[in-house]
Amino acid sequence: MSASLIMKDVKKVYGKGENEFAALKGINLDIKKGESIAIVGRSGSGKSTLMHILTGMDSPSTGDVTSEEVSIFSSSTDVWRGQNVGIVFQQFFLQSNNSVLENVLLPLKIQGVGRRERQDAALAALEQVGLSDKAKSKANDLSGGQKQRVAIARALVTNPQLLVADEPTGNLDTENGEAIAKLLFELNRKNGATLVMITHDEELAERCLRVVRLKDGEIISIRKGKSSGGKK
């Protein structure tokens, strides 16, 4: 299986002169199509910085990220991200006064997809996350677990090859967190989307095919998830 995303000697330095701080010190990582991968490490180890660069939300100081051998920074990174990446955040980031449906179809609206087509796609994504009956509800009226499902549906609606989840269960209780984790792994298996999960939750990380551990901006280990069972 060919690698779909490769980080090559990625370094990120914040600040200048005396305030210079190396947040990533040369990251090399091949993320293979369809796999699940957890990024773990203490607070400040560089997880968010890595995630921002991997998704093209920020550029590296040196080094590169390539998808199918083309740098994600070589042309319009925003377009690349819009077409290939779905991101789920700990804080959901929904438009709280808009309907669930409006929230989910937004990425397609931004891409200029027609009204009918984006509505159908949003309803299909809501069905995948088990929230068809909430399409017309105001996002703010949902529970935390439901909000995260909406955020996942919004991430899915463009049918991305890469699903990135930043502490997806961080704001949820155990039961809802488990339901969201199950859903993410199911989407990884069923849709074949590569899943990259940033998490503090060691148990959750072990369910990924590979666990990448960061320390002080460096990868200190890459190994198989103990509970992954060799499955994607």
* Residues within the interface to ligand ADP (CB under 6 A): 14-15, 21, 23, 41, 43-49
- The least CB distance from residue 148 to ligand ADP, in Å, is 19
Of the two residues 40 and 129, which places its CB atom closer to ligand ADP in the complex?
40
The token pair at 142 is 């949902």
CB of 41 to ligand ADP, least distance (A): 6
| φ, ψ at 50 (rounded to 5°) | -60, -45
Whole-angstrom Cα distance, residue 154 to residue 126?
8
Rounded to 5 degrees, what angle do the CA atoms 189, 80, 57 make? Answer: 95
- Kindly state the smallest distance separating residue 207's Cβ from ligand ADP, in Å: 20
**Token representation of residue 103:** 């929230």
Sheet strands side by side (includes 36-40)? 85-89, 162-166, 194-198, 36-40, 210-215, 218-224
Give the residue with the Cβ less far from ligand ADP, 32 or 200.
200
Q: What angle do CA 79, 82, 88 make, to 5 degrees?
A: 150
Closest approach of Cβ 216 to ligand ADP, in Å? 9
Residue 14 or 78 with smaller CB distance to ligand ADP: 14
Q: Which is closer to ligand ADP, CB of 47 or CB of 207? A: 47
